[in-house]
A and B are shown apart, each in its own frame.
Chain A
Amino acid sequence: MDYLLKIKNLQVGVDHAAIIDIADLVIKRGEIHALMGPNASGKSTLAQVIAGHPSYIIKRGDIYFLGKKINNWTPEARAKAGIFLAWQYPQSIPGLAVRDFLRTIYNNLLTSREKNILSLVEFDKLLVKHAAKLDLPDKLFSRSVNEGFSGGEKKKLEILQMLLLKPKLAIIDEIDSGLDIDALKNIAKVIRQQKNMGILLITHYQRILKYLKPVKVYVAIKGRIIKEGKRNLVGQIEKSGYKSLN
């Protein structure tokens, strides 16, 4: 198999309205693809659809992951297969400590791959190692998941989960909002280090594309990809905005 993710003639709706229409999108191992577009262009919806959000109905077309059709897979099955979504607005779970959450999802994936789970101590070592890369302080681990987190802390926690779960494909939704420039550079560096991972980078702004170089760029407007091209498309958008593409 030469691709991770393949989307074919996909039409997604909520109730009766079609909200996304994607003819063709293929991401291979180690590739970074960027999906750009103004607000409400359906970018985040596509991310949620790939992750299996129950609110969206696939009207036609297919999503393949590693050669298997995953249209009807549960979100957890997709996660176990290696799809990871870094949320634009991560959910908060009051009362669930970050450390417990991370250890549970980590060991859960290990179990599903028939590997031995890590002890508390072993896991803590791993956690501290990854957290250091992202400049996340230890004291965050005893707080509730995303509860009262700053925008930057939320985004870092998303990337921390990505580092722990080591997905094959990461869909990274608007990671740059809420991050200062140093943190953004650092996160981009961490993402670049994941050599074999396929990445679908969803972004409104060009900022992060200075540090992560996509092989392919798509522009979505109103649920459709209206243009695709190489990296130079980014420059064009920067110059004359999304409207010029219409």
Chain B
Amino acid sequence: MNKKFLKLDTIKNNFGMYVKKGDSINCIIYGATKSNELQGKIVLQKNSKLNFYLLLWQCQNLNIKTDFLLLGQNTKAEINILSLGSNQDKHHFDLYLNHQDKNTYSRLNFRRILWQQADSYSQEILKIDKGASGSDAYLSDKTVLIGNNSKVISKPILEILNDKVKASHSAISGRLSEQEIFYLKSRGLDEKRAKSLLLDSFIGEILPADKGIVNLIKQRLNSYAKR
């Protein structure tokens, strides 16, 4: 597998990626930035596979627009986005996932944790074209609102033009579950520990298998938790 690591603040404006026929790419974009406007276009050709991670923290002003085009048959895209917002961060995501050919597969997992006055907006369009029989698409968009003045808007969109497909999405936002916190407390954990454990598990399923990056994120979570 071809691996790519990119630090967010090194990307200027536009980025593009071709995942060529039969290729398999693991791409991780991560880090912090003061202000960034990004336009990305990622194209998957026949039989190719993409594992895409966008892992963000300390981004004051962020505007990301990315298109994922599953152009060829039997392409597979797993997209994981984590965005940690704090202070007065403003995030804007505009994601477009288009299944153009047969037997294409996509998973978009979006996780947000927002502290203080962080404000996050996202539109996630999942479009399955007429010719894309056998496609399988799922979008999951979950946000934990921690800050008393944090806000989130989600617009998960489905446009389905073929009946022989699987397509669904789910979006959830709110506090951490009181029920789950209570459960962990009843096992002897204090509130802080319980919450941090729940946040770890909230983002756990979308993190890449890269210790260095996972540690960076855990540290970030810990430092937010102390506030």
Q: Do chains A and B touch in the complex (CB under 8 A)?
A: no
Which residues from chain B sit less than 8 Å from chain A, CB to CB? Answer: none
Binding site for B on A (CB under 8 A): none
